[in-house]
Amino acid sequence: MKQVYLDNAATTALRPEVIERMTDVLQNSYGNASSTHGFGRASKALLEQCRKNIASHFNISASEIVFTSGGTEADNLALRSAVRDLGVTEIITSKIEHHAVLHTAEQLKGEYNIKLNFVNLDDCGLVDYEHLETLLDNADKAIVSLMHVNNEVGNILDVVKVARLCKRNNVLFHSDMVQSVGHFKLDLKEITVDFMAASAHKFHGPKGVGFCYVRKESGLKPLIFGGEQERGYRAGTEAVHNIVGMDEALKMAYNNLDVEKAYVSGLKTYFIEQLESSIQNVSFNGGCKDVLNSTYTLVNVCLPIAPEKAPMLQFQLDLKGIACSKGSACQSGSSKQSHVLTAILDNENLKKPSVRFSFSIFNTKDELDYVINVLKEFVNS
């Protein structure tokens, strides 16, 4: 059976070069980076070189990078410390954020009785910047948390604009950039976020490692206590092999960005064209069809299928060897409707099955043709 992996927004395959470099570290650089002997110092040197390398991609200081287990931990670190330690009494976010932000915000509201406000969205799920300005004008000690690239529908936030609005109103700005790091050039001197989350497995790096960007002198305090690793921000022995793998994956992503972006963008454009020519009344959720103003890595497709037939779609795709997602990976095993689509679609379109297809450099047009044929056959059967 043919196997086609189109769930790259959930996780990506490791590049061979990343595996090679990680394997070398696992075999030869296994010292604890906190140890003072030669083995430990060698691991510490690797760790700090990776920190410098990663920081250089974003035009920031190495001291502003805190290694974490991934994006979820980074989001929690920024939001929880902002409320607990920085005096934040209000979180301004949107209803289509990743659950790492939404559930954390809801938990903080219950624990600290803070305000939780949601910025208005248009029919495509794009932020209403005028409403955001109104919220900021009336905010006290607040933090805005809005993701750069939406993981389900691919909308892109104008992070430069939001950062400027936040600075003008003396409000902190946190952005989950898990879907944009490694896929877009990000100059954090221009995008003046205070905190940013990233995860290696979204750009062909290993799972279980990411980082939080913490702007200098932010006053952020640790979430995990124990040792003095990560300058006290994040206790626990660092997984040097994972950090090295993330460094290698990020280096390759940015070194090859222009060529690989053009290739993956071509796949997305081709997929949209073939869907529209093969399936009558197919539609696209959010702004993902707008190739110039959405991420080039995914499309979220709403298929013209009767409600009684819809539950079988995901099963049939899996049966045909096609990996995709009905929402984010965190929701794919759930019977609940995507909270993102619930926020932006009307009841009629919510009854139809929506599927997220996300692409990478390892996909081909032949694979997309196979998927189109499977979808066409199912819709018309």
**Intervals of the chain under pLDDT 50:** 328-334
- pLDDT tens for each residue of 235-276: 899 999 999 999 999 999 999 999 999 999 999 999 999 999
Task: Give bridge partners of residue 117 from the DSSP assignment.
Answer: 92
Domains of the chain from N-terminus onward: 4-12+256-380 (3.90.1150.10), 16-255 (3.40.640.10)
Q: What is the pLDDT of residue 381?
A: 83
Q: What is the pLDDT of residue 335?
A: 57
Q: What is the pLDDT of residue 351?
A: 86
Q: What is the pLDDT of residue 332?
A: 44
Determine which one of 124, 212, 302, 330 is catalytic. 330
The verdict on whether 50 is a catalytic residue reads no
- pLDDT tens for each residue of 283-304: 999 999 998 889 999 999 999 9
Q: What is the pLDDT of residue 216?
A: 95
CB contact burial 321-356 (16+ within 10 A = b; e otherwise): ebebbbbbeebeeeeeebbbbeebbeeeeeebbbbb
Q: What is the pLDDT of residue 327?
A: 54
* 176, 152 Cβ separation under 8 angstroms: no
Q: What is the pLDDT of residue 51?
A: 98
What's the pTM value of the predicted model, to 2 decimals?
0.95
Strand order in the sheet with 172-176: 65-68, 210-214, 195-199, 172-176, 142-145, 90-93, 115-118
Say what the alpha-carbon torsion angle 178, 179, 181, 185 is, to the nearest 10 degrees. -140
- Is residue 317 within a helix (H) or strand (E), and if so which, with residue range? helix 313-319
The rounded distance, in Å, linking the Cα atoms of 72 and 198 is 9
- pLDDT tens for each residue of 303-312: 999 888 888 9
